[in-house]
Structure 1
Amino acid sequence: MKICRFNDNRLGVVEGDNVRDVTEALASLPAASYPFPSHDVLIENLMQIRQAAEQLAPRAPTFALADVKLLSPIGNPGKIVAAPVNYKKHLAEVLGDPEIHNDNQISHIQRAGLFLKATSSVVGASDGVALRKLDRRNDHEVELAVVIGKAANNVSREDALDYVAGYTIGLDITIRGPEERSFRKSPDTYTVLGPWLVTSDEIAKPGELDFSISVNGEVRQKSNTRELILGVPELIEFASSFYTLQPGDVIITGTPEGVGSIKPGDTMFAEVENIGSMQVAVRDAQEG
């Protein structure tokens, strides 16, 4: 199932070029009171939401996808876990380009570990990217994003996929410079998730997906997740050995070679096999 959030926090089921409004399914979520859960309650209760959505969909109002505003499919992620230099060719690219590494220490992912991005950086495809620090290089990075479905602590790679709720496309926008990585990657709008969540039952082999990104029609990055240094199961094992992953936590798995700069007025088009595609506009943060 393809599940999206759209317009004014509506819940939808995507079918072809249309979305069915199944917001009524949210009534099946348990009531919450302060202090509210720090994870995503919808993802925690995804099975119930799916069942309710399936019952509602045949009679639900239908909208054209082209006419709705697509929000991040994950409304309340507790953590955005990111994998640095997780493709061999990208590692070589980073090491060979001073404009990318800026004399920062670059290590193999097994040594460098993972890093966190601010959840306040998350937006959906229709929100677009608002660039800051325009005197510096801002780069696109396209990635497969993995959404955790249940609490995962010290999970083995053999069992890791059992903890996945689904997959989406991730754009990890990056300001180049000397500061620590998570700082430069956490401005508002610098984590784009979308266009929707594809439930894990529809993607049996996340390690065999073609994906790409183009800017203004020019293909910049094109690869396959089989080129990952640490695949999805290994990343879940690695992350959960340090901290518990919670429902709605997102792992962006790393980007391949071909990272490049973007500027206000650009249009990015990202695509991942078996998930879909999204178009994302780039603007100047100073212009709102």
Structure 2
Amino acid sequence: MRLYSYDDYQVGVGVPDGGIVRATQFLPDVPPRDRMTALIERWERLREPIADLVTGATPIDLASVRLLPPQPHPGLLIAAPVNYRRHQQEMGGESGVYPGMVVHTIETYAGFVKASSSIVGPDDAIELPFEDRRVDHEAELGVVIGATASRVHRDRAMDYVFGYVPLLDITLRGDEDRSYRKSFDTFTPIGPAIVTRDAVPGADALDFRLTVNGDIRQRANTRDLIYGISRLVELYSAAMTLHAGDIIATGTPEGVGPISPGDEVVLRIDEVGELRMPVTLRKALTVNRQDQPAIRGLS
């Protein structure tokens, strides 16, 4: 199934013709922003009633609603740093994004946390905070956790995966810590829907690509991840308890590059969906440019 959040945090289920069937009535006791998390937590109980509802309901036209991020309020948003070998090669070395630097992989860096407030949906925009700092696109598969996971072995890890979502890890280049540079408001677009795990049986071998203004920038397959989905769940659940609705950003392949106001970034992941985002310049700066360090640092 495809699960959506829309308008005033209504939750809905996609139908084959592209419409949405409202399912908020199954969650009468839940605060609006937490409805998708509650739906994920109660999925085993609600899946059949929702499937029955979809069969007989009249769908809402997608074009008539405002699509929000399908998971607007995860408790944890954790990301895998440098999880493709070719991305490591393009970041460091003599001709990399950071010339002369040694850029390590997930095997050294393990992970970092992004602010969940950086999440936006497909009817929003990526807002660049500075006119004179480089900001890059990074195309990723997002993994949505389905149940409390603590110290889970990779052999059982997929039992804790609820579904998948296209995800952009937008990145300000510079000296600041990763978690700061990647946590600006609007720097984690996701959507348009969460696709449940049963609908994506081949998640470890998904083709995906990213274009900017129609030009292909990134093209890869999740089979090339250094740490695949199961190992990422194992790694992160060994350090911190994961809960239903949490999101893991699995890492980006080679081809990252700068984006500018007026660009359109499109991420297409086979079986998962297409996320289309415009790029704008933030209208009111909240941080003085003179306080920002030079453009150096880790990816």
Q: What's the secondary structure of 1:159's corresponding residue?
A: helix
Work out the CA distance in 1 between the residues paired with 2:50 and 2:110. 38
Q: Percent identity?
A: 41
Work out the CA distance in 2 between the residues paired with 1:8 and 1:215. 30
Q: Which of 194, 198, 216 is matched with 1:197 structurally?
A: 194
Residue 124, structure 1, aligned to residue 109, structure 2: no
Query: Unaligned stretches of 5+ in structure 2?
Result: 286-299
Q: What's the secondary structure of 1:57's corresponding residue?
A: helix
Q: CA deviation at 1:32?
A: 6.1
Provide the residue aligned with 2:297 in structure 1: none
Provide the residue aligned with 2:141 in structure 1: 144
Work out the CA distance in 1 between the residues paired with 2:137 and 2:94. 15
Work out the CA distance in 2 between the residues paired with 1:197 and 1:178. 34
Provide the residue aligned with 1:45 in structure 2: 42
Q: CA deviation at 1:54?
A: 1.6
Residue 230, structure 1, aligned to residue 227, structure 2: yes
Residue 71, structure 1, aligned to residue 60, structure 2: no
TM-score, normalising length: structure 2: 0.88
Q: CA deviation at 1:107?
A: 1.7
Residue 14, structure 1, aligned to residue 14, structure 2: yes
Letter aligned with residue 206 of structure 2: L
Task: Indicate how the Cα distance of structure 1 residues 102 and 152 shifts in structure 2: closer, same or farther if over 3 A, else same.
Answer: farther
Task: Indicate how the Cα distance of structure 1 residues 76 and 51 shifts in structure 2: closer, same or farther if over 3 A, else same.
Answer: farther
CA displacement 1:201-249 (0-9 Å, x = unmatched): 1112211000011011001100000110000001011111111111111
Residue 247, structure 1, aligned to residue 244, structure 2: yes
Letter aligned with residue 256 of structure 1: P
More strand by share: 1
Do the aligned residues in 1 keep the contact of 2:15 with 2:21 (CA within 8 Å)? no
Q: What's the secondary structure of 2:261's corresponding residue?
A: coil
Provide the residue aligned with 1:283 in structure 2: 280
Do the aligned residues in 2 keep the contact of 1:122 with 1:192 (CA within 8 Å)? yes
Q: What's the secondary structure of 2:11's corresponding residue?
A: strand
Q: What's the secondary structure of 1:279's corresponding residue?
A: strand
Work out the CA distance in 2 between the residues paired with 1:49 and 1:97. 54
Work out the CA distance in 1 between the residues paired with 2:244 and 2:50. 19
Residue 3, structure 1, aligned to residue 7, structure 2: no
Q: Which of 196, 211, 215 is matched with 2:212 structurally?
A: 215
Task: Indicate how the Cα distance of structure 1 residues 192 and 103 shifts in structure 2: closer, same or farther if over 3 A, else same.
Answer: farther
Task: Indicate how the Cα distance of structure 1 residues 172 and 78 shifts in structure 2: closer, same or farther if over 3 A, else same.
Answer: same
Letter aligned with residue 217 of structure 2: R
Work out the CA distance in 2 between the residues paired with 1:23 and 1:130. 31
Q: CA deviation at 1:102?
A: 7.7
Query: Unaligned stretches of 5+ in structure 1?
Result: none
Provide the residue aligned with 2:292 in structure 1: none
Do the aligned residues in 1 keep the contact of 2:75 with 2:116 (CA within 8 Å)? yes
Q: CA deviation at 1:105?
A: 6.5
Letter aligned with residue 279 of structure 1: R
Do the aligned residues in 2 keep the contact of 1:102 with 1:177 (CA within 8 Å)? no
Do the aligned residues in 1 keep the contact of 2:92 with 2:99 (CA within 8 Å)? no
Q: What's the secondary structure of 1:265's corresponding residue?
A: coil
TM-score, normalising length: structure 1: 0.91
Provide the residue aligned with 1:168 in structure 2: 165
CA displacement 1:94-123 (0-9 Å, x = unmatched): 113777348876322111110000010011
